[in-house]
A = this chain, B = another copy of it.
Amino acid sequence: MIKVLAADIGGTNIRASVVTEQGQIKQCVRSQIDLGDKNLSEDDLVERLAAFFFGILKNETSIKAIGMGFPGFFMGDTGLLVASPNLPNLHNVELAKRLSIELNLPVHLQNDALCAAVGEHTYGAGKGSTNLLHVTLGTGIGGGLILNNMPYTGENGMAMELGHLRVAYDNAARSCGCGGSGCVEAYASATAIATKYFEVSGIRVDAKQVYDRACKNERDAINVFESAGYYLGVAIAQSIKLLDIKTVTISGGLTGAWQILYPAIVSSLDTELIAPLKGKVKVLRSALDDNAGIFGAAAIAQKMV
């Protein structure tokens, strides 16, 4: 393998690591980056990203390529950013090509959740599976799909919007940031957990603090996490009814609450799946913690997929 720089880019911060020829993470650089400005121009985006990577590259030698996971839709493996929910003004940006010219290195870009799927499949809990359905469970909910050992992007680069599968259709269905309602993201994300806990307890804390309360056997907090696991299981079940995949992996901050989430997910899958599929799906916690996306970006840059 070649030595690469791999990055996981979010709306407000960016993490990057050098990944060595042996597949080891050598260092980790974190930085704030403001991609939340809806009026950001294409040139601004390229400039901000390039400045960040320049800062690392000047102290590193023998980097042969850069891989990045980015919150947006990419056309296949071309690195063309079709659209990004964070940057509604930008469409069809040749982001990999422009960054490659700026940085004078091959640059590979892919959707952040798909990067996490690739990382989990190449280095993590999904290693050895031919097909993998990966869920990123954090502030929002995303999905990434590996079919026949290859990342699946969809015809417009928009596949696996698992966070927007509906788990409720009635009039009381919760509103989602996508403009719709009833999406699993509005029921099982960290944001949803904090909201639901506030509704039942009147206390405004974040999902991590709700989990701390659950660990102290606070019934409301446990209920909120169990409900999140149930709804996540519903969404995974709908996906399995279509895709019939044996291995599901889950990464992201909320997997810290695995001991409560996992039994709820499994119970929900058992209820929701059609009889012949029951018991055929293995749900695994990420083996890479926060680094699934970084490892996936590295694998893409190393052309392991």
Contact = CB atoms under 8 A, between A and B. Distances in A.
Contacts of A243: 154, 159, 242
Nearest to A150: B148
A234 B238 CA distance: 13
Given A156-B277, A274-B161, A166 B238 contact: yes
A279 to B, nearest CB: 11
B275 A178 contact: yes
A1 interface: no
Among A157, A158, A162, A280, which residue has the most Cβ atoms of chain B within 10 A?
Answer: A158
A219 B157 CA distance: 41
B180 A272 contact: yes
A276 interface: yes
A157 B277 CA distance: 10
A280 B276 CA distance: 33
A134 to B, nearest CB: 13
B159 A242 contact: yes
A19 interface: no
Interface in A153-191: 153-162, 164-170, 178-180
A261 to B, nearest CB: 20
A110 to B, nearest CB: 14
A274 B242 contact: no
Contacts of A164: 241, 274
Interface of A: prevailing SS: loop
Contacts of A154: 243-245
A73 interface: yes
A38 B67 CA distance: 55
A124 interface: no
A219 to B, nearest CB: 24
A242 B165 contact: yes
Given A147-B147, A169-B167, A169-B170, A159 B244 contact: yes
Given A155-B131, A169-B167, A242 B275 contact: no
Contacts of A260: none
Contact of A244 (B130, B158, B234, B246): B158
Nearest to A241: B161
Contacts of A179: 274-275
Determine which residue in A164, A168, A239, A242 has the highest number of CB atoms from chain B within 10 A of its CB, and name it.
Answer: A242
A238 B243 CA distance: 12
Interface of A: 73, 82-83, 130-131, 143, 145, 147, 152-162, 164-170, 178-180, 234, 238-239, 241-246, 272, 274-277, 280
25 contacts: A82-B276, A130-B155, A145-B242, A147-B152, A154-B243, A155-B244, A155-B245, A156-B246, A156-B277, A157-B244, A159-B242, A159-B244, A160-B242, A160-B244, A162-B241, A165-B242, A166-B238, A166-B272, A169-B170, A169-B234, A170-B170, A178-B274, A178-B275, A180-B274, A242-B243
